[in-house]
Amino acid sequence: MPLDLKNAGAVVTGAGNGIGAAVARRLASAGARVVVNDLDATAAEAVAGEIGGIAVPGDAASEAGVTALIAEADAHLGGIDLYMANAGIARSGGPEAPEADWEISWQVNVMSHVRAARELLPGWLERGRGHFLTTASGAGLLTMLGSAPYSVTKHAALSFSEWLSATYGDRGITVQCLCPLGVRTGMLDDAGDQGQAILSPGAITPEEVADTVLVALRDGRFLILPHPEAADFYTARATDTDAWLAGMRRIQAKVFTEEESE
């Protein structure tokens, strides 16, 4: 269901910078009343001050943090129409990555969404409408070389969004999933050689992502793809998985060879 942003109450997590900040600005410019959340209180307050929004800094992942955020946002807004679960983290490595990296990736990239939905759904179902937007990244559609914790948890975030849409889509709940590829943010800077090899050439700005999000909020599509070519990659992955994996292995081998030669 398309979302009318005029005077809508919106919450954006991880909105102190990057994609979250850009979307918060676009929402405010479209007439929404925006709660800006971030672990970095100074960053959240700066963005909120810039857009005439409300800063509610804090942890958008833990059970207590999500409950507190939604309660405070609801009190400020008089009802939450849109919740953008945008906060995310990327930890590098594979099976050898520390247990703590796997655990925090799961909590921030997946359970933050589950906990938010748990809080929001009863009220949304009662009134027959609500809008849940997940930032799942292109890694949720494809994969991210060099970062198994990020890839695995972003796939899980996409899967949870699909489940929400299938379960509640006929009861007034709109669920959308934002899956950009490379975006010029601090996360891209920290993506490592493999991530940079894949993402940097076609990287776009957070503002370009936010523009795509605003269009998609109005038409209600499930997958929001700021990089349209991601749809072709996703199709190739599904229809010829072996060929797609072979291509990913070639990228991996190229990066590994370059690392060895340095």
Q: What angle do CA 59, 62, 63 make, to 5 degrees?
A: 125
Which positions ≥6 away from 217 have C-beta within 8 Å?
A: 2, 3, 5, 82, 131, 133, 176
Closest of 168, 21, 25 to residue 5, by C-alpha: 25
Is the CB of residue 35 less than 8 Å from the CB of residue 53?
yes
Q: Could you tell me which residues are beta bridge partners of residue 177?
A: 134, 223
Among the options 83, 150, 168, 234, which is catalytic? 150
- DSSP string over 29-70: HTT-EEEE--S-HHHHHHHHHHHT-EE--S-SSSHHHHHHHH
Closest of 39, 146, 60 to residue 101, by C-alpha: 146
In the 8-state DSSP scheme, what is residue 93?
B
**Residue with structure tokens 């007439």?**
31
Residue 203, CA distances (Å) to 69, 120, 161, 214 in order: 32, 33, 25, 19
Rg (the chain; Cα; Å): 18
Catalytic status, residue 168: no
Q: What amino acid positions are annotated as catalytic residues?
A: 150
